[in-house]
C-alpha cells in the first residue's frame, strides 16, 4: 500500500461511525456488507460528477428498503387483482397526487420500473410498430429510447433524427421545423442526456401542432430544474411527459409518466379506440409491459415528491445551476472548449475533438484523481462511441453534498491540472486524489456516515 493509499484508507473511516442500521446484513451476508462499505467509503471520498447520479435522502432509502417490498399489488388504486391492498392504494394515490401537484399535470402513472420502461409505454400507447417519429440520436446527446438503432425504439419504430449543430452545439429550431414538415412524424421527442442548454418547449409545441404530431418530453435529467423554476416547464406544451425519479429529484430508481387526460389526435391516429390518452398510457404500463408494481419504490417516490415540494429543494435546484455555470466559466477561462460554449443547466460537456486525447482517456485520468465523470460523444464527434471526444460533468450530487461556488473553483483547478498532465497523469493524480478526499470529508453525503 502506498503512502497515498494509506492516507486515503485513514480518511475513508473518519465519520463512518458505529451504528446498527446494517447489523442484519452484516450478520447474514458479510461479503455483500463489506462491498457495501467499500462503495460507501469510495463515494464519500470522491466527487460524484456524473450528471445522472445523486444522493437519495435517508427517508427515501428507508422507504425503499421497507416491508412494502413484500406486497404484490397488480393493477391500480381501487382496481387490484389481489386482496389486502387498501393501504397500498393510499400509498400509490399519495404518490400520484404529489407528483401531479409538483408538475401541474392532469394525470400521472407512477408504476414504471425506470425511465426506459416509461418511454416504452409511451410508444405502445401512441404508435403502431413501424411508425415514424423524431428523436435525438445518442451521439447528438439523446437517449437510447429516443430511437437509437440497437434499442427497441430504433428497431420497432422508424426514427427521423435531429440534433444540435456540430459547430455551435445548439439546436436549430428552424431546421427541426423543416425536418418535421418534410417527414410528417407521428411523434416528436424532446429531451436529452447531454444537451447543456435550455429546451424551448413552446417552439417544439408549435412544430408538433403544425404537423399534427404528439409532443413527448423526456425530463429525466432536468425535472428538478423545472421544479426549481430554472428551466422551462414542458407540461403545458406536451401531450406526455416522462421522467425518472433517481436523478435530480433524489428519489428511488424508478420512472413516472405525466399526460393530458384527453387525446387531441385520437380521431387521426386511434379512431378505433375511444379511450382517453390517460387510459391508454395506463394500459400500456399495466398490463401491457409490466406486472406487479414495486410498492416499496412507489412509497419512496412519494417521499421524494414531498421533499421536492419544499423551498429548500427549490433553492437546491437553483444552486445546481449556479454551480454548473461557475464550473463552466472557470474551465473556459483556463482555455477549454465546451460544447455549445457553456451551460444553462446541470451539466457541461468538455470538447476534446481538437486534441490528441480522447474523452475516455480524460475521464479515466479524472477518475483516478477522484473526480468521477463519464466520457461522452459531442456534436460532430469524429471518434467512436467507445472512446469519444467529450467528457460529461454535472453538479447535482456535489450540490446535494452542500458544495457551492468556491468548491467549483477548486474542482476546475483540479480538472485543469489533470488535463495538462494527460501524457503522464501519475505526476499529479495521487496528490489531487488526496485533496479531493479531504474536501469530501467536509461535505459528507446523506446516508454515508452510518456504517463501520
The reported pLDDT for the residue numbered 287 is 97
> How does pLDDT run across 101-123, given as a tens digit for each residue?
999 999 999 999 999 999 999 99
DSSP readout, 190-213?
EE-SS--S---HHHHHHHHHHHT-
**Nine cell digits for residue 293:** 408494481
pLDDT-based confidence at residue 18 (cuts at 50, 70, 90): very low
Phi, psi at residue 200, to the nearest 5°? -95, 90
Spatial separation of the C-alpha atoms in residues 259 and 278, rounded to whole Å: 6
Give the model's confidence band at 445: pLDDT under 50 very low, under 70 low, under 90 confident, else very high.
Answer: confident
- The whole-number average pLDDT for the span 288-302 is 97
pLDDT in tens, 389-411: 999 999 999 999 999 999 999 99
Strands 390-394 and 374-376: antiparallel
Mean pLDDT of 80-96: 97
Q: Which residue pairs from 81-89 have beta carbons closer than 8 angstroms and sit at least 24 positions apart in sequence? A: 88/295
Percent of the chain with pLDDT over 90: 93
Cα(59)–Cα(251) distance, rounded to whole angstroms? 10
**Res 12 pLDDT > 50:** no
Q: Which comes out higher in pLDDT, residue 428 or 5?
A: 428
**Tell me, what's the pLDDT at 403?**
98
Can you give the pLDDT at residue 19? 38
Place of cell 465519520: 15
Element (H, E) at 312: helix 311-333
Are the CB atoms for 371 and 415 separated by under 8 Å? yes
pLDDT > 70 in the chain, percent: 94
How far apart CA 257 and CA 280 sit, in angstroms, is 12
Q: How confident is the model at residue 1 (pLDDT cuts 50, 70, 90)?
A: very low
Which residues does the annotation mark as catalytic?
Answer: 72, 74, 218, 244, 247, 253
Instruction: Quote the strand ranges of 111-186, DSSP E.
Output: 132-135, 158-161
The pLDDT tens digits for 125-175 are: 999 999 999 999 999 999 999 999 999 999 999 999 999 999 999 999 999
- Going by the DSSP 8-state scheme, the letter that residue 288 receives in this structure is I
Mean pLDDT score across all residues of the chain: 94
What are the two backbone dihedrals, phi and then psi, of residue 10, each rounded to the nearest 5 degrees?
-65, -45
CA distance linking residue 213 with residue 133, whole number of Å: 9
Looking at the predicted structure, is the pLDDT value of residue 288 above 70?
yes
pLDDT band at 8 (very low <50, low <70, confident <90, very high): low
Is it the case that residue 9 has pLDDT exceeding 60? no
Q: What is the mean pLDDT of residues 79-107?
A: 98
What is the model's pLDDT at position 157? 97
Tens digit of each residue's pLDDT (9 = 90 or more) over 34-69: 999 999 999 999 999 999 999 999 999 999 999 999
Q: Is the pLDDT of residue 33 over 80?
A: yes
Across the range 405-420, mean pLDDT stands at: 98
For 123, phi then psi, to 5°, come to -55, -45
> How confident is the model over 318-346, as a mean pLDDT?
98
Amino acid at each position: 500500500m502506498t503512502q497515498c493509499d494509506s492516507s486515503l484508507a485513514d480518511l475513508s473511516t473518519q465519520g463512518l461511525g458505529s451504528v446498527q442500521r446494517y447489523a442484519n446484513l452484516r450478520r447474514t451476508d458479510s461479503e455483500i456488507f463489506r462491498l457495501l462499505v467499500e462503495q460507501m467509503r469510495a463515494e464519500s471520498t470522491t466527487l460524484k460528477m456524473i450528471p445522472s447520479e445523486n444522493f437519495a435522502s435517508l427517508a427515501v432509502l428507508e422507504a425503499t428498503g421497507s416491508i412494502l417490498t413484500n406486497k404484490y399489488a397488480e393493477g391500480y388504486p381501487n382496481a387490484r387483482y389481489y386482496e389486502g391492498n387498501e393501504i397500498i392504494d393510499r400509498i400509490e394515490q399519495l404518490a400520484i397526487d404529489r407528483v401531479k401537484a409538483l408538475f401541474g399535470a392532469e394525470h400521472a402513472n407512477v408504476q414504471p420500473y425506470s425511465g426506459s420502461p416509461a418511454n416504452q409505454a409511451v410508444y405502445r400507447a401512441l404508435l403502431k410498430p413501424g411508425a415514424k417519429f423524431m428523436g435525438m440520436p445518442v451521439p447528438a446527446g439523446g437517449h437510447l429510447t429516443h430511437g437509437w438503432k440497437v434499442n427497441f425504439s430504433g428497431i420497432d419504430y422508424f426514427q427521423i433524427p435531429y440534433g444540435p449543430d456540430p459547430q455551435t452545439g445548439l439546436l436549430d429550431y428552424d431546421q427541426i421545423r423543416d425536418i418535421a414538415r418534410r417527414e410528417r412524424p407521428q411523434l416528436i421527442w424532446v429531451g436529452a442526456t447531454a444537451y447543456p442548454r435550455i429546451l424551448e418547449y413552446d417552439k417544439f409545441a408549435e412544430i408538433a401542432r403544425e404537423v399534427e404530431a404528439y409532443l413527448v418530453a423526456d425530463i429525466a435529467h432536468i425535472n428538478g430544474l423545472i421544479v426549481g423554476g430554472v428551466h422551462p416547464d414542458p407540461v403545458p406544451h406536451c401531450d406526455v411527459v416522462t421522467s425518472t425519479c433517481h436523478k435530480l429529484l433524489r428519489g428511488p430508481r424508478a420512472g413516472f409518466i405525466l399526460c393530458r387526460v384527453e387525446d387531441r389526435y385520437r380521431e387521426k391516429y386511434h379512431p378505433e379506440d375511444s379511450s382517453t390518452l390517460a387510459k391508454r398510457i395506463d394500459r400500456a404500463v399495466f398490463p401491457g409491459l409490466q406486472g406487479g408494481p414495486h410498492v416499496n419504490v412507489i412509497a419512496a417516490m412519494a417521499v421524494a415528491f414531498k421533499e421536492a415540494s419544499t423551498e429548500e429543494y427549490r433553492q437546491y435546484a437553483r444552486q445546481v445551476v449556479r454551480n454548473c455555470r461557475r464550473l463552466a466559466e472557470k474551465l473556459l477561462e483556463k482555455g477549454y472548449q465546451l460544447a455549445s460554449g457553456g451551460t444553462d443547466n446541470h451539466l457541461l460537456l468538455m470538447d476534446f475533438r481538437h486534441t490528441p486525447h480522447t474523452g475516455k482517456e480524460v475521464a479515466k485520468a479524472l477518475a483516478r484523481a477522484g473526480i468521477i465523470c463519464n466520457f461522452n460523444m459531442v456534436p460532430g464527434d469524429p471518434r467512436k462511441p467507445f472512446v469519444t471526444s467529450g467528457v460529461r460533468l454535472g453538479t447535482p450530487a456535489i450540490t446535494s453534498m452542500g458544495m457551492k461556488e468556491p468548491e467549483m473553483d477548486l474542482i476546475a483547478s483540479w480538472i485543469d491540472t489533470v488535463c495538462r498532465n494527460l501524457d503522464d497523469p501519475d505526476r499529479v493524480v495521487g496528490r489531487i486524489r488526496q485533496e479531493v478526499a479531504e474536501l469530501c470529508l467536509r461535505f459528507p453525503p446523506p446516508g454515508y456516515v452510518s456504517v463501520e
